[in-house]
A = this chain, B = another copy of it.
Amino acid sequence: MAENRFPYLQLLRFTTSVFEKIGCNPTDAELAAKVLLSADLRGIDSHGVARLSGYVRLWEVKRVNANPNIKIIHETPSTAVIDGDGGLGLVVAPFAMKVAIEKAKNAGTGWVSVQNSNHFGIAGYHALMAVEQDMIGWAMTNASPLVAPTFSTERLLGTNPICVAVPAGEEAPFVADMATTTAANGKLEILQRKNERAPLGWVQDKYGNASVNPHELKSGGALLPLGGDREHGSHKGYALGAIVDIFSAVLSGANYGPWVPPFPAYVPMPEEQPGKGIGHFLGAMRIDAFRPADDFKLHMDKWIQRFKAATPIAGEERVIIPGEPEKEMETERMRTGIPLLPVVEEDLKFLAEKFLLNF
């Protein structure tokens, strides 16, 4: 099916209006829309407007508070814990990153663990807020359990992404933004739609057997940690996902492991709640708390240029710097518009009708 392209500004205005309709104030609504659409711009379509109706449904079942009183509940010179008051992660996480950046201005670094939040869109948006201030940015979040740790048949971790964004000089920033699984859930969804096989190492069935069926999660299967199986280092991917869970939730007082609230509003909440909402972890490190920013950027450029110049494997163009493809996509989609799958376009039209908006 052909995809139609929509100008960024049209989608931004529409998404902002939807967030206003569920009760966000205009500033929060525009911020939430910007964060959400940064995913579409960067080509991470699974985390963009495709999820807008999902956020609306969470609000409908009262799992999202459109007017949160976000506040710092504990702090030291370089740390804070924030209670998101059940707000949209799209609004709570930028608030938390601003706190991390302010801490870093004074103490060199700032680290903020967040409880009582919801899904925050792509980690990259938040980490890049720090880069604009000549800081290294960190962003992590836990998420609904879809991933089985090594040797487990049960799903105990989310795809728990880690993003680290590092400023450079002439070169674009280095932005590693990755699920701690072999493949992000969005990639699996693409295979589901096409009814194509998944590579071995992406999913397992409900007994923990290797599987190539992209629909495995619907019958009790699980996504696999980066590495895929023990022989290929899945215990490392599992450990990375665990670190994200601990930093985002055990440190803040959010829910962790199998008790993280699900994103789909129709999935019942876990019976037990050892914490509040879902958790994030944001960090900002001032470059000049280590060395002069200009020196650092000169060496980052040299690092990037050396990696780009590596002799490539036959058939491959060259080594890619993390964040490069997303940056190129952003430039292109700002110019030519954001392509939406017909099903996503339908979803937005449904929202337009529901809220009496133009789309």
Contacts and interface: CB of A to CB of B under 8 A. Distances in A.
Interface of A: 74, 76-79, 81, 106-109, 111, 113, 149-154, 156, 164, 166, 174, 176, 178, 180-183, 199, 201, 207-208, 226-228, 231-233, 235-240, 242-243, 245-246, 250-253, 256-258, 274-275, 285-287, 289-291, 295-296, 299-300, 302-303, 306-307, 310-314, 316-320, 322
Contacts of A290: 74, 79, 81, 113, 251-252
Nearest to A317: B151
B312 A152 contact: yes
A316 to B, nearest CB: 4
B152 A313 contact: yes
B251 A207 contact: no
Contacts of A275: 299
Nearest to A313: B208
26 contacts: A74-B291, A76-B107, A77-B106, A78-B78, A78-B107, A78-B108, A79-B108, A109-B111, A111-B285, A150-B320, A151-B312, A151-B316, A151-B320, A152-B307, A153-B312, A166-B246, A176-B239, A180-B236, A181-B233, A226-B226, A228-B232, A252-B291, A253-B291, A253-B295, A274-B299, A274-B302
A106 B78 CA distance: 9
Contacts of A152: 307, 310-313, 319
A300 B247 CA distance: 11
Of listed A106, A239, A295, residue having the most chain B CB within 10 A: A239
Task: State how many copies of this chain the complex holds.
Answer: 2
A232 B201 contact: yes
A313 B290 CA distance: 46
A153 B246 contact: no
Nearest to A239: B176
